Amino acid sequence: MQRPAAATRSRPRDAQATRELLLAAATEEFSEFGLAGARIDRIAERAGCNKRLIYVYFGDKQRLFDTVLERRIETLDREVPLTPDDLAAFAAARFDYVVAHPQSARLAAWRAFERAEPTEAEVHSFAIKVAAIEGAQKNGKLNADIKAIDLFAMVLRLTESWPSAPPALRSLAGQDPDAKQRIRQHRAALIDAVSSFTTPAKSGTGPSRAQKN
């Protein structure tokens, strides 16, 4: 009687391990080929699993893609938490993550290209961050001349500015565009740029342009 009980207890662990294998394989597949180009057969082969399990755990390719996106959001939020009082520090940390995880950047590019409608998880994640930035602006910690949503959008894009720059532009750096020295130079420029438009003005009591609009 004890052996069946032990087998029953092992199933959730096996199922979770299989699910994680499939998610890892799907992340690789989607980052290489996007949603349209990805193939269920290849994902199953990468994971070393029966493709039937993809439908069992995730339903279909679209829902698997959404799950991969949600996992990416969770990882980013955990590895690079927002510091609304210091967006320059946040930008530097996110830049470091983007450089260290090119797969994540490729996945984000495919997502922007192929999916017009956002998922609930994406909207929720961004809403929390924009609200936090609004709070920092109201407390005088951030420049309030720019609306929070625009401020955050600009910071996000700048954190990906060098990795996503056109190859021809990157070639003008005069060195390996991914060399450590080149990355450090761009990182320093990124911090200066974000600081320049997020730091609140030290004087002036009139309403900001963002408040007027």
Tell me the per-residue pLDDT of 25-43, one tens digit each, with 9 for 90 and over.
999 999 999 999 999 999 9
Q: Is 70 or 206 the better-scoring residue by pLDDT?
A: 70
User: Residues 93-102: what's their mean pLDDT?
Assistant: 94
- Residue 29: which CATH number? 1.10.10.60
**In this structure, what token pair is assigned to residue 129?**
């961050």
Q: How many residues does the chain have?
A: 213
pLDDT per position as a tens digit, 139-184: 999 999 999 999 999 999 999 999 999 999 999 998 899 999 999 9
User: What sign has the CA pseudo-torsion 73, 74, 78, 84?
Assistant: positive
Of the residues 68, 91, 108, the one at which a domain ends:
68
Per-chain mean pLDDT for the chain = 87
pLDDT tops 90 at residue 8:
no
Residue 117 pLDDT level (bands cut at 50, 70, 90): confident
* Segment 43-49 mean pLDDT: 94
Whether residues 190 and 87 fall in one domain: yes
Check whether residue 118 and residue 173 sit in a common domain: yes
DSSP annotation of 165 reads S
| Structure confidence at residue 204 (pLDDT) | 47
Closest alpha carbon to 199 in 144, 123, 149: 144
Same domain, 123 and 194: yes
Pairwise pLDDT comparison (55 vs 201), residue with the higher score: 55
Q: Specify the pLDDT at position 116.
A: 67
pLDDT for 154: 97
pLDDT digits (tens, 9 = 90+) for 194-204: 999 999 977 54
Residue 157's pLDDT is 94
- 3-state SS of 118-164 is CCHHHHHHHHHHHHHHHHHHHCCCCCCCCCHHHHHHHHHHHHCCCCC
Q: Which range marks the domain in which residue 107 is found? A: 80-201
